[in-house]
Structure 1
Amino acid sequence: MQSILNEGDTCWRIAKADRLSIIIDAADFFRFAKRTMTKAKKSIYLIGWDFDTRIQLEPGKKDGKADKAAKEEWPDELGKFLNALAERNNGLDIRILKWDIGLINSITRGETPFYILKWMFDKRIHLKLDGAHPALSAHHMKLLVIDDEVAFCGGIDMTVGRWDSRDHSEDEPLRKSPMGFAQGPWHDATTCLSGEAARALGEVARRRWKLATDETLDPPDENTATENDPWPDELEVGFRDISIGIARTAPEYEGRSQIVEIETAKLAIIGSVKKTLYVESQYFASRRIAEAMAERLKEPDGPEIVLINPEGCEGWLEAKAMDSARIRLMKMVKDADVHDRFRIYYPVNEARTSIYVHAKMMFADDRIVKIGSANLNNRSMGYDTECDLILEAQPGEDTLSEKIVSTRDDLIAEHLGREPQEVRDAVAAHDGSIIAAIEALNRQSGRGLLPVKMRELSADEELLAESDIADPERPSGVRYRTSNFLKQRFGRVARRAKRARKET
């Protein structure tokens, strides 16, 4: 079978990772990231959509309390922790790149600007705000690179509301904001990897820094490499000695061409899947992705497709625009699903409270895993900056294929409140069907997966969904779509008022 990875098309670069682990949920990510950063000798790059300096990396653990995995005592609050890293290693270069519009979020949620102002003029910790993007575009990739030796790449932001364990318990006392407010259950995912692929992600980070600041960063000098291994001691290695495709999205901006490697890769994955496509995404709003799924569902022997979404979106505008777009695409896909091979679910915890899905993953058969920052929406396909990793098993790599399937089944087991072996047995008992396995294991109470409900859209919701005003794909469409939406919306209001006057 032909590989879907092609440099310059479906990915920017193919690089070797001597170790890679998929990390589910931020409790483990924050803990492992902290362990890794304490081992940094030369450089730390934090590239992200948002950072909140007040969050606890290991909530519940008092500052300064050492444990078995930490040989030194470290502060646990992110801002204090980064300061301590810089103070204890004068040769450590810490670079933080944060989306500039995200600064507004920091201020409105009550985050003190102390660290932001201090680091913008600090000689050891360098904070920059990334404004190198079109209007309304977001800097959305999430990278943490340590010494170009170990890197984290995925969908988890180091900010408020992200910390949660895989239990997603209803009354988790540690899941709270820095102000002490309870936060809802949150499902997320990232990766940790080392080797050539980590160095390549270091290059991605330095390129992004250059675009945002016009400052060129040199990579860490490999000739001064030490025996130090930044890999977190407690993190079990999931995959060894594998090739990774690094795929990106970037908007057209100031003479730079648009990059659509992630969209191209997703379409190639959907086109190549044989039996099962399992997807987790915060959104389902990309028409091209939905159309590709619909075409496969029309095939008599095509794949089954399972999509895990949140029950609904956050915020009024996002809920109106993105939920409306999802309903329209669900209808289109379901109309094409003449063989009953499509399901879209949202997860609930033991109290039947919906768990917000922020993970961005795609599993195709026993062959492909894609994980990163890109959702199934238009922005992630061509308007925001994104970075995804793609792992592909080649024919004969049976051990790798087995690990891909076991990772997928482990995720399904988490959502169903089951053991991974129960999922594996159920899939085998239903001739490889994950839909049949999910429906057989789904409970009527406690943890489980519930179907996302279809409903009729109001006229305004139809118009908002059609306009893509909150989810543009490219800069050139923003002004047109906004103008067109306003004309249609208020033009319709004017016509209604005119008819009403005539009737009276």
Structure 2
Amino acid sequence: MARADRAAVIVDAAAYFVHLKAAVLRARHSILLIGWDFDARIELDRSGEAPTSVPNRIGRLLDHAVRRSPGLRVYVLRWDLAFLKMPFRGTTPFFLLEWLGGHRLHFHLDRHHPPSACHHQKIAVIDDAVAFCGGIDVTGGRWDTPAHRDREPRRTWPGGAPHGPWHDVTMAVDGEAARALGDLARERWFAANGWRPDPPPPCTGCWPDGLEPTFRDTDVSIARTQPAYDGLPEVREIEALYLAAIASARRSIYLESQYFAAHRVGEALERRLLEPDGPEVVVINPERAIGWLEGEVMGAARALLVRRLREADRHDRLRFCTPVTAGGRAIYVHAKVLVVDDALLRIGSSNVNNRSMGVDTECDLAIEVRSHDARAPELRAAILRVRDGLLAEHLGVSRDAFGAALRAADGSLVRALDSLAQPSGRTLVRFEPSDLSELERELGSTHALDPHRPEPMSRTFVRSLRLLPLVPPALAALGAGALAWLFWRGRTRRVAEE
């Protein structure tokens, strides 16, 4: 837990990319970018008003920042196996930039994790003076505005091809909280590369102009997931935070996540729904996960969990919804947000799946209102503004309109949502899980490929063989080859370590 003079919730990547660019241009000592994926070709400011004298693509911008500030060093750390999912991402320019930038621009791949895990944190730290942490990767397919228009010419991949609507959230902090995230980023760099970047001297003035703080002078908690590996202890702070937060809820639980497959989180929600006077639960999820494998593995587990929650919802306090555009197109939800009553806000990289609880490296930020805090009413109001703003965005109404609906519903989140949901247009629609085959049902109930803890690649390979009846032949051959390569890679790594 560390103090932040300012903390700001940033909704959707259009705003985040602009603020990240502004912070990078103010850096004088160090920039740490720790992520699941990076694409050097990403255009940051797409407003049409960006000055042409400053590079707008993240790779060229970092090179520009290093060249104009002799004391600046840049460190970019990316998961080493992201290429298996996206083999044509713009990673090569980072290698070229490292070569051109000499000893002051470093790009490395993070492979310091169990063979079945991945590095999933999304952190950017500028001079230890401002830091961003949340769900947004600086990569392709992420950019969008809160309008989530059906036709948005700026919403394109680096090559120019359009991509669909995308909803995401991150948080910016300064002060001690930024320095704490800088320490965490340097520890991750050390774990991945064997040497630790020097921390910068005390510095201020990196907060982006135009980024209005959501909170001032508040404590920010940093929660992590870290699998036990190579001397590092297991850390399951994020799972503990989810379970404690759900248990503490009095009136409402609001949750946004890319997946909904963590069975312990699902069971905790089920217990609260069974209570006669328990909290209301609103879950925002995408219509379907991106990718065949995620759709099968996470989709099957979600279908089972949703059915369990609806069976437990004897008091009509659950709404499980998907946002759509004005034209009815599904908006992909990549955000990872939890709001409990007016008392807790959590934003980070962790999804509601088992991997995020104990297998992949994750980092979340949380702000909690404590009863003895003299500024508790101010903090509570700020937390509700974040929650209500997100729901207003999804429903296609103003925050004032949502506030009026909430007051008319005597503070009931689900009744306010019901009153504003429309049969068509920009709105939230009820999620309906698809029927599952026996194999899909078994896949979802056994948590195959979404384990609670890292498992040997041999076990993952055996589990994956059970998917073959569901897979098209060409995809099955490709997947079997990839899994065999991962199995071989894990074995050779263990031999080398021994």
Aligned to 1:467: 446
Report how far residue 118 of structure 1 moved: 4.1
In structure 2, the partner of 1:374 is 350
1:254 to 230, 241, 247: 230
Change (3 A) 1:299 1:481: farther
Quote how far apart the aligned CAs of 1:422 are.
1.2
Q: 1:451 aligns with which of 423, 426, 430?
A: 430
Change (3 A) 1:481 1:77: closer
Contiguous gaps of at least 5 residues in structure 1:
1-13, 66-72, 491-504
CA deviation after TM superposition for structure 1 residue 482, in Å: 4.4
2:44 counterpart of 1:57: yes
CA contact under 8 A between 2:283 and 2:321: conserved in structure 1?
A: yes
Q: CA shift at 1:254, angstroms?
A: 1.6
Aligned to 2:13: 26
1:488 offset after TM fit, Å? Answer: 9.5
Partner Cα separation in structure 2 for residue 280 and residue 487 of structure 1: 30
- Worse overlay, 73-82 or 46-55: 73-82
Query: What is the Cα deviation at residue 178 of structure 1?
Result: 1.2
The 1-side partners of 2:436 and 2:252 are apart by 30
Secondary structure, aligned partner of 1:123: helix
The alignment's TM-score, normalised by the length of structure 2, stands at 0.90
Corresponding position of 2:280:
304
Structure-1 separation of matches of 2:190 and 2:74: 15
Checking the alignment, whether the CA contact within 8 Å between 1:460 and 1:489 is kept in structure 2 is no
Match of 1:294 among 270, 274, 284: 270
Over residues 160-199 of structure 1, what are the superposed CA-to-partner deviations in whole Å (9 max), with x where a residue is unaligned?
Answer: 0001000000110000111110110000000111000000
Q: Which residue of 1 aligns with 2:476?
A: none
Name the counterpart of 2:398: 419
Distance 1:79 1:63, change over 3 A: farther
Deviation (angstroms), 1:441:
0.7
Once residues 163 and 309 of structure 1 are traced to their aligned partners in structure 2, the CA distance between those partners, rounded to angstroms, is: 18
Change (3 A) 1:488 1:104: closer
Per the alignment, in what secondary structure is the counterpart of residue 235 of structure 1? coil
> SS of the residue aligned with 1:27?
helix
Name the SS for the 2:293 alignment partner: helix
Q: Do the aligned residues in 2 keep the contact of 1:360 with 1:371 (CA within 8 Å)?
A: yes
Paired with 1:249 and 1:268, the residues of 2 have a C-alpha distance of: 15
Give the equivalent residue in structure 2 for 1:442.
421
SS of 1:153's partner is strand
Q: How does 1:235-274 map to 2 (within 5 A)?
A: 235-274=211-250
Identity %: 44
Cα gap change, 1:31/1:110 in structure 2, threshold over 3 Å: closer, same or farther?
closer
Match of 2:117 among 128, 137, 142: 137
Q: C-alpha displacement at 1:221, in angstroms? A: 2.1
Q: How big is the shift at 1:470?
A: 2.5
Alignment match, 1:406: 385
Q: Provide the C-alpha distance between the structure 1 equivalents of 2:63 and 2:89, rounded to a whole number of angstroms.
A: 20
Q: Of the candidates 295, 302, 305, which is equivalent to residue 326 of structure 1? A: 302
Q: Distance in 1 between matches of 2:241 and 2:457?
A: 25
Secondary structure at 2:239's aligned position in 1? helix
1:214 aligned onto 2:190: no
- Structure 2 SS opposite 1:476: coil
Contact 1:25 1:188 in 2 (8 A): yes
Secondary structure of 1:332's match?
helix
Please say if residues 468 and 481 of structure 1, whose CA atoms lie closer than 8 Å, have aligned partners that are also in contact: no
Quick one: which amino acid aligns to residue 303 of structure 2? I
Is the contact between residue 279 and residue 363 of structure 1 (CA under 8 Å) also seen in structure 2? yes
Q: Which amino acid aligns with 2:440?
A: E
2:76 pairs with one of 84, 93, 96: 96
**Counterparts of 1:390 and 1:112, CA distance in 2:** 31
Counterpart of 1:16 in structure 2 is 3
| 1:87-133 alpha-carbon deviations (Å, 9 max, x no partner) | 11111010000100124455x22636243244268312100100001
Tell me how far 1:476 sits from its aligned partner.
Answer: 2.8
Q: Which amino acid aligns with 1:206?
A: R
Q: For 1:205 and 1:337, locate their aligned partners in 2 and report how far apart those are by CA, in whole Å.
A: 41
Question: What is the match of residue 480 of structure 1?
Answer: 459
Which stretch has the larger CA shift, 17-26 or 52-61?
52-61
Partner of 1:4: none
Retained in 2: the 8 A contact 1:463–1:485?
Answer: no
Amino acid at match of 1:178: P
SS in 1 for 2:103: coil
CA contact (8 A) 2:40 2:93 kept: no
Q: Is the aligned partner of 1:153 residue 2:140?
A: no
Q: 1:339 aligns with which of 311, 315, 321?
A: 315
Contact 1:374 1:386 in 2 (8 A): yes
Using the TM superposition, give the Cα deviation of residue 215 of structure 1 relative to its aligned residue in structure 2, in angstroms. Answer: 0.3
Q: 1:47·1:144 contact (CA, 8 Å) conserved in 2? A: yes
Question: What amino acid maps onto 1:253 in structure 2?
Answer: Y
Q: How does 1:50-89 map to 2 (within 5 A)?
A: 50-59=37-46, 61=48, 64-65=51-52, 73-89=53-69
Which residue of structure 2 aligns with residue 37 of structure 1? 24
Is the contact made by 2:63 and 2:97 (CA closer than 8 Å) also made in structure 1?
no
Q: Which whole-Å deviations, capped at 9, do the CAs of 1:441-498 have from their partners, x for residues lacking one?
A: 11222100011103321122112213323312211366435425646978xxxxxxxx
Equivalent in the alignment of 1:47: 34
- RMSD (Å), alpha carbons: 1.7
Q: Which moved more, 1:55-64 or 1:368-377?
A: 55-64
- What is aligned with 1:203? 183
Alignment partner of 1:192 out of 161, 172, 177: 172
Preserved CA contact (<8 Å) 1:34 1:57: yes
Where 1:284 maps in the other structure, the secondary structure is: coil
Distance 2:89 2:109 in 1: 18
Question: Are the equivalent residues in 1 in contact too, given 2:38–2:91 (CA < 8 A)?
Answer: no
CA contact (8 A) 2:224 2:235 kept: yes
Where 1:83 maps in the other structure, the secondary structure is helix
The equivalent residue for 1:493 is none
53-62 or 126-135, larger mean C-alpha shift: 53-62
Residues of 1 paired with 2:209 and 2:341: CA distance? 31
Deviations 1:340-390 (Å, cap 9, x if unpaired)? 111110000111101000000000001100000001000100000000011
